[in-house]
Amino acid sequence: MYSLLTYSLLHVYRRRGWPGVWQVVAGVLFGVLLEWATIQQFHAYHYGRFVIMVADEVPLAIGVGWGVIIYAARLFAEATSLPGWARPFLAALLALGIDLSMDVVAIRLGMWDWGQGLAFHYFGVPWPNFWAWFWVVFFFSSGLWWLADGKQGPGQWLGPLAAIVLSVAGVLLTNYIIVYIIPWAWTLATVVLLFLGTWVLILSLRPRLIHPLPAPARWTPALFHGYFLLVGLFSGVLLHPPLLLGLALCWLGLWWWAEHSLITQRDSGL
């Protein structure tokens, strides 16, 4: 996580200077704050012991993970032909694809625990978690695009702070909706409809790359998928049950297809 953060900070500094660095750092702060706030809201999960813990509850590395994933997802979306209002939807989908392969391995390695056993919902991961992942990335990437990007003077420094506050509020609200408003029996259907509806929206806009894909947009998801695939194989957790390995390869393949289909379209001039 810390290596990816260093790489992301160097990359954004070359592209956007110190205001860009502040946006990535704000993503890390947002990640830590939203994790702490969500734990206080529901007490639905807890983390294992990491080297650096914030408030003795949230690993700093988790906040760093949010920061680098959001940065990579935003870079990917910015390189496409999607209109500005649609880019947060693509960024959220890209991030969600990472979690679908990461979470099932992480909980089996003791990184965090949902307290429901390994057969609960998606192999131990509650369905509302994926709902939350979508809105976390959607809200914060939207906040940065509308409140910070392109701003001059105080706006470029205050915009990320406003994005943190508004995004945490948005995530807590959507968390409340999925837990207390939507009937529990409809949870899976709600998550699936959100996922498929967003895919249909993105595909209907016929996205293509209009700029070369920046390196962090390619390497960050590749490293997440690759790390958890290899760790899951070497530890054996992806083989219990073997379906987990098939799903991990499926999400890796879907990410590869999304990236390379867009690159092919750009290179062919479509």
Per-residue model confidence as pLDDT tens for the chain (270 residues): 999 999 999 999 999 999 999 999 999 999 999 999 999 999 999 999 999 999 999 999 999 999 999 999 999 999 999 999 999 999 999 999 999 999 999 999 999 999 999 999 999 999 999 999 999 999 999 999 999 998 888 989 999 999 999 999 999 999 999 999 999 889 999 999 999 999 999 999 998 889 889 999 999 999 999 999 999 999 999 998 999 999 999 988 888 887 777 666 655 544
pTM: 0.94
Helix residue ranges, H only, the chain: 2-42, 60-78, 87-108, 127-147, 154-176, 187-204, 215-235, 243-268
Q: Decide: helix, strand or coil at residue 55.
A: coil
CA 187 to chain centre: 20
Which positions ≥6 away from 71 have C-beta within 8 Å?
A: 8, 12, 23, 24, 27, 216, 220
pLDDT at position 265: 62
Which positions ≥6 away from 202 have C-beta within 8 Å?
A: 82, 86, 89, 90, 93
- DSSP letter (8 states) at residue 119: T
| Helical pair 2-42 and 215-235, crossing angle rounded to 10 deg | 70
* Residue ranges making up the domain that contains 14: 2-268
Which positions ≥6 away from 178 have C-beta within 8 Å?
A: 128, 131, 132, 187, 190
Count of structural domains within the chain: 1
Peptide bond into 241 cis (omega under 30): yes
